[in-house]
Structure 1
Amino acid sequence: MSAVPPLPIVPLPEEKSAEALRLLEGLDAPALWWLSGYAAALARHHGGATPRPAASPAREAVAQERLTIVYGSQTGNAKRLAEQLARDAEAAGLAVRLVRAGAYPQRELKAERLLVVVISTQGDGDPPDDARGLVEFLAGKRAPQLADLRYAVLALGDSSYPQFCAIGRRVDARLAELGAVRLLDTGEADVDIETVAAPWLARTLELAREALKPVAARSATVTPLRTAAPLAPASEWTRARPFAAALLANQRIVARDGARDVRHVELSLADSGLAYEPGDALGVWPINPPALVAAVLEATGLDGDAPVRHDGRSLGLRDWLARERELTRLARPFVALHAARARSDDLNRLLAPDRREALAALLASRQPIDLLREYPAAWDAEEFVAALRPLAPRLYSIASSRKAVGDEAHLTVGVVDYEAFGARHVGAASQFLARADDDARVPVYVEPNERFRLPADASRDVVMIGPGTGIAPFRGFVQERRETGAAGRNWLLFGNRHFHSEFLYQTEWQDALRDGSLHRLDLAWSRDGARSYVQDRLREHGRELHAWLDGGAHLYVCGDATRMARDVHAALLDAFVAHGGLERERAEERLLQLAEEGRYARDVY
């Protein structure tokens, strides 16, 4: 570890500053984070408020000479793009600060002169979890006037939702309302992110270089700033260059006669150098099911062996459809193009601005094969390939701890396979993994999720809420806590449809209860007898839940974002109102505070 830099100006006597430096010397990042949290807790105990110093002239001068990039990311895409822009800007000689939205010092916003925000929209118009505080700050009365700020916003979203890129649009509009000046129009990237993001980032870098050029000419002796948190060295295996992981196990973990198929998949990462922490995700590059490719070719009447040239590459059409194009996710641009070719009034009406909800329902329930069959149209092979979105990797929460399983990564995979609208609907990655045989190699990479980490202080209690396959990361959490001998208690809330057929990892949880690595297990079954869900269990045990959180516990939620996560959030509010004596608005503030402290983390999708 490099030497500790001198302390900035602080309200400490000289001898205390020296002692602080000696204490910090040699500590790694987790220890430093723990120490900072401990010190903050002591300050609150003594009744001290967090200091909010005014921006100094020196700090304002630094802000004028740098590009600040703030990202709000739920699944890692916004983070990846922000890091890419930061690397490119540094390579171009610009001073750069890269900051996660949840860690951005809001009081410094008024000193910024050049700002890029890369932010995604979740579900029906929600910000990423760790960007909620910044978004609310911008919308509130404390947001400063920003007449000296130039900015750009790259918005990420999914056009299958009515509130496509809503958060990015909201941030852009609010910055303009506060007096800031746009460098360029908001970029709005759909799931095929690179189509919009690549040219937008290139143009933003060009404009940033122009904006900082006069400053650079005046400040030739200034050493460019590095990022606030230096970028980790890129792994040899990445999203663009995945590692071919050997399949070690592919086991069904629900009853054979059950309506659903859920798999426990074990992959070898031996000799890859890939590392992960509990809470991270594994990106899987799938191959579309052969039966689906054949159905698409039949519906279009196109020749699968015909060569197709697109984006400077030439492949057979069947290869394009199997490995390069999305066949299981429907997108608005394809609906629009197909509606024009099919001359369908029904589809064209769905594209009207006042039919967003109906269009969202179509995109959520149908796949391209449905449109090809229901609204026949003539397609040219090249134009068909160009109309479909590029195939994207799927992210799975890792269901293991390396301390327990070594150079392996385990996944919990719900296999998507059902009949609807006269077609068999399948999931690209889940079917790919379900079909994998003993000799299979699965293209994978690690997607870190710093927002979803176990507490650095192992004496803290943790509450884990994970219905269905949302249980995955908590298997890794419990393994990790067992292997490290963590002193904190572990409380797991799991729900599914049926006890006898869908109690995922049942024997493991029972063993964990016996050996003391799991201290409490509460279950909910939505199709057995009286229906119950995890949020019902939270309300039933609201007093204990509030006591755990009031005592410093960390809370984690994983699973469905559209219903479960919202219902769980409402149940948490009820617990603070009923057992914490808070008004509803204050309870909302308390949950936001827990999120900003890293004590309320969600991995929802």
Structure 2
Amino acid sequence: MTPMSATPALPLIPLPESKAGELSRLVEGLDASALWWLSGYAAGLASQPGGVARAVSAALAREPVNLPRLSVVYGSQTGNAKRLAEQFARTAETAGLQVRLLRADAYPTRELKNERLLVVVISTQGDGDPPDDARGFVEFVLGKRAPQLAELKFGVLGLGDSSYPKFCEIGRLLDERLAELGASRLLDRAEADVDFDRVARPWAERALQVAREQLKAHAPLATVTPLRPAAAAAGWTREKPFSAEVIANQRLTGRGSDKDIRHIELSLEGASLHYEPGDALGLWPRNPPALVDAVLETLQLDGNAPVSVDELTQPLRLWLSEHRELTRLSRPLLAQHAALAGSADLNRLLSPEHSAQLQKILADYQIIDLLRSWPASWSAEELVAALRPLTPRLYSIASSRSVVGDEAHLTVAHVAYEAFGSTHWGAASHYLASREEAARVPVFIEHNERFRLPRDSSRDVIMIGPGTGVAPFRGFVQERAATGAAGRNWLLFGNPHFRSDFLYQTEWQEALKKGSLNRLDLAFSRDQAEKIYVQHRLAEHGAELYRWLENGAHLYVCGDATRMARDVHEALIEVAVSHGGKSREDAVEYVNQLQQQGRYARDVY
């Protein structure tokens, strides 16, 4: 669903001034699904004979008092948990259940003690972190303030990536904590890898069945007329991507840079694909042909041999090129290969006491390295069945439609390096970097309602985006200039070297001259003996940063989640201590409040 644009200026609304103010406060902070619900509800009231008051009274009269309800709460970083939760909620609604669907940061935690039926769909990021939109929810449930929940029945679906050590950690923690608080499981927790449909679909079917049984026991199921508007005719989606033409592929980094960062421009003409600054472009990649050849040669398999998996038959080479992951090694695949190879060394890595060594293998090795280092015999069918499905990659969109029209611009770090005697690539980045102009690539829009410019364009904006993390802020600055936003714009950017790694240098300098960028602070880490990063600039300009925040500024962070985002988060806490006169505990709460208010947003990966 396309998120709604900024709230219309109040003078355009045909309401008394007092009511217009109430309306503005009501919609502030609501996401797209809530706004659509509200618009549908209002339209329903307007269509009732006898006016709104009579319609509301009739609606209340129809609703059974204390009708049992299923709450579906999701926490999602890249959109997968959100999609699954929405699908589950729609199916449950159609089946006659009263359902409310809430993003975790919109869930009123004070209501948890009154819940009777709860389904949580949540992903785990990196090394066991919750998604940004679920941090407050997770902290509450795991914390001391969580209530006893003896009357709650719940189910947890965890999403993760088995190439990380703490696979589905957040789902596990929530599941165990809810049980510890006295709640009963509707069904056992499920843990889904990147090919999440294999686990999620049967789990959701079972969860719906037991939820229906629970609600039947308390009251007859309602005949539900969904208040959401009917879905629009299907357009271009994740499952049905648009074939976008490459209209520019330019290297941004200069000579001598260790990085190959590309500016990619794609045409969306004729697609009717709409995005807002902060959204991402999803790309279905193709594995490098040289890598596919290497796998076939190493295993001595025929690329033309037909292989049937899940009722689909196609040549092995096509499976490996377009439908299976070859650049990301996972623990389940390593375990299966260890069994086929009969390798004591590999099997030893799978034991708990060698977890650090296992993580190093998973981080450093691609599948071809595993096949070459520990030879084993795979059949074509076994290989395709064992490899994980190829998944789309998401790239922050580096443009504003207000400026570029039917185009989407990307800032892509081309992953290409030498290891174990051969060249290695990133599947998506190499696919994009090797596309020439006029080539076409399959894309879709992934909306990100959590990473939006403030509705009030008079608010100041602070953007922290080192490396390719600067991408969405190019779109932010373009949008703010095109719409005449009155608020100031402050960008903090970092990379190794000024001369070779200053991405979009001329654009930022021009924006400073025009006034569409009010402040630019730079951190080139390798241009002096002591490494300087964006978090150091935050500390250096802490007094000014705190003043901006106290005056209502919105702060955004984009880029590496493992180190940069954590260091920036810590720097913000230290700024609140040093320049806000707060204790450490109060500073942590201050930063948490910024997140809960939607004034501190992160797009990290």
- The answer to whether structure 1 residue 95 and structure 2 residue 98 are counterparts is yes
- The answer to whether structure 1 residue 562 and structure 2 residue 565 are counterparts is no
Match in the other structure for 1:126: 129
Match in the other structure for 1:207: 210
TM-score (norm 1): 0.89
Contact 1:66 1:95 in 2 (8 A): yes
Give the Å deviation of 1:539: 1.0
Residues 125 and 152 of structure 1: CA distance in aligned 2, closer, same or farther (over 3 Å): same
Between the aligned partners of 1:32 and 1:189, the Cα distance in structure 2 is 29
Match in the other structure for 2:373: 374
Match in the other structure for 1:534: 534
Contact 1:64 1:113 in 2 (8 A): no
Superposed, which structure 2 residues align to 1:136-147 within 5 Å?
136-147=139-150
- The answer to whether structure 1 residue 135 and structure 2 residue 143 are counterparts is no
Match in the other structure for 2:45: none
Match in the other structure for 1:488: 487
Contact 1:296 1:369 in 2 (8 A): yes
Match in the other structure for 2:120: 117
Contact 1:350 1:359 in 2 (8 A): yes
Between the aligned partners of 1:320 and 1:389, the Cα distance in structure 2 is 11
Match in the other structure for 1:357: 356
Between the aligned partners of 2:341 and 2:367, the Cα distance in structure 1 is 13
Match in the other structure for 2:433: 434
Q: Which string of whole-angstrom CA distances, capped at 9 and with x for unpartnered residues, describes residues 91-147 of structure 1?
A: 222221100000001111122111100111112111111211111111223222211
Between the aligned partners of 1:248 and 1:117, the Cα distance in structure 2 is 42
5+ residue gaps, structure 2: 1-14, 35-60
Between the aligned partners of 1:383 and 1:295, the Cα distance in structure 2 is 18
Between the aligned partners of 2:134 and 2:273, the Cα distance in structure 1 is 28
**Which 10-residue stretch deviates more, 419-428 or 390-399?**
419-428
Between the aligned partners of 2:214 and 2:17, the Cα distance in structure 1 is 43
**Per the alignment, in what secondary structure is the counterpart of residue 140 of structure 2?**
helix
Superposed, which structure 2 residues align to 1:230-269 within 5 Å?
233=232, 235-269=234-268
Match in the other structure for 1:305: 304
1:121 maps to a residue whose letter is T
Give the Å deviation of 1:224: 3.3
1:541 maps to a residue whose letter is H
Match in the other structure for 1:469: 468
**Per the alignment, in what secondary structure is the counterpart of residue 562 of structure 1?**
coil
Between the aligned partners of 1:581 and 1:224, the Cα distance in structure 2 is 53
Contact 2:94 2:224 in 1 (8 A): no
**Which 10-residue stretch deviates more, 231-240 or 254-263?**
231-240
Give the Å deviation of 1:235: 4.7
Between the aligned partners of 2:596 and 2:223, the Cα distance in structure 1 is 32
- The answer to whether structure 1 residue 104 and structure 2 residue 107 are counterparts is yes
Give the Å deviation of 1:535: 0.8
**Per the alignment, in what secondary structure is the counterpart of residue 148 of structure 1?**
coil
2:577 maps to a residue whose letter is V
**Per the alignment, in what secondary structure is the counterpart of residue 200 of structure 1?**
helix
Between the aligned partners of 1:496 and 1:231, the Cα distance in structure 2 is 46
Q: Give RMSD over aligned pairs.
A: 2.3
Superposed, which structure 2 residues align to 1:80-91 within 5 Å?
80-91=83-94
Match in the other structure for 2:345: 346
1:240 maps to a residue whose letter is E
Between the aligned partners of 2:65 and 2:142, the Cα distance in structure 1 is 26
Contact 2:158 2:191 in 1 (8 A): yes
- The answer to whether structure 1 residue 155 and structure 2 residue 158 are counterparts is yes
Residues 177 and 230 of structure 1: CA distance in aligned 2, closer, same or farther (over 3 Å): farther
Contact 1:269 1:408 in 2 (8 A): yes
TM-score (norm 2): 0.89
**Per the alignment, in what secondary structure is the counterpart of residue 436 of structure 2?**
coil
Contact 1:64 1:114 in 2 (8 A): no
Superposed, which structure 2 residues align to 1:439-588 within 5 Å?
439-530=438-529, 531-588=531-588
Give the Å deviation of 1:65: 2.1
**Per the alignment, in what secondary structure is the counterpart of residue 244 of structure 2?**
strand
Contact 2:69 2:98 in 1 (8 A): yes
Between the aligned partners of 1:555 and 1:150, the Cα distance in structure 2 is 38
Give the Å deviation of 1:422: 2.4
Between the aligned partners of 1:421 and 1:559, the Cα distance in structure 2 is 28
Q: Which string of whole-angstrom CA distances, capped at 9 and with x for unpartnered residues, describes residues 217-254 of structure 1?
A: 2xx6x563757x87975751111111111111111111
**Which 10-residue stretch deviates more, 331-340 or 85-94?**
85-94
Residues 32 and 119 of structure 1: CA distance in aligned 2, closer, same or farther (over 3 Å): closer
Between the aligned partners of 2:232 and 2:110, the Cα distance in structure 1 is 30
Match in the other structure for 2:8: none
Match in the other structure for 1:11: none
2:459 maps to a residue whose letter is R
Q: Which string of whole-angstrom CA distances, capped at 9 and with x for unpartnered residues, describes residues 317-349 of structure 1?
A: 000000000001111110000011111112111
Contact 2:67 2:219 in 1 (8 A): no
Between the aligned partners of 1:315 and 1:112, the Cα distance in structure 2 is 48
Give the Å deviation of 1:89: 1.3
Give the Å deviation of 1:363: 1.2
Give the Å deviation of 1:353: 2.2
Question: How many matched pairs?
Answer: 562
Between the aligned partners of 1:22 and 1:490, the Cα distance in structure 2 is 29
**Per the alignment, in what secondary structure is the counterpart of residue 294 of structure 1?**
helix
Q: Which string of whole-angstrom CA distances, capped at 9 and with x for unpartnered residues, describes residues 350-388 of structure 1?
A: 111233232222111111001000001000100000010
- The answer to whether structure 1 residue 169 and structure 2 residue 168 are counterparts is no
Contact 2:96 2:223 in 1 (8 A): no
Give the Å deviation of 1:258: 2.6
Match in the other structure for 1:411: 410
Give the Å deviation of 1:204: 1.2
Residues 348 and 326 of structure 1: CA distance in aligned 2, closer, same or farther (over 3 Å): same
Between the aligned partners of 1:232 and 1:522, the Cα distance in structure 2 is 45
Match in the other structure for 2:11: none
Between the aligned partners of 2:142 and 2:601, the Cα distance in structure 1 is 23
Between the aligned partners of 2:544 and 2:16, the Cα distance in structure 1 is 44
Contact 2:127 2:166 in 1 (8 A): yes
Give the Å deviation of 1:81: 0.8
Contact 1:297 1:304 in 2 (8 A): yes
Give the Å deviation of 1:23: 5.5
Identity %: 66
**Per the alignment, in what secondary structure is the counterpart of residue 238 of structure 1?**
coil
1:373 maps to a residue whose letter is R
1:536 maps to a residue whose letter is H
Between the aligned partners of 1:102 and 1:373, the Cα distance in structure 2 is 46
**Per the alignment, in what secondary structure is the counterpart of residue 209 of structure 2?**
helix
5+ residue gaps, structure 1: 1-16, 37-57
Superposed, which structure 2 residues align to 1:290-329 within 5 Å?
290-329=289-328
1:195 maps to a residue whose letter is R
Contact 2:92 2:208 in 1 (8 A): yes
Contact 1:557 1:565 in 2 (8 A): yes
2:470 maps to a residue whose letter is I
Give the Å deviation of 1:26: 10
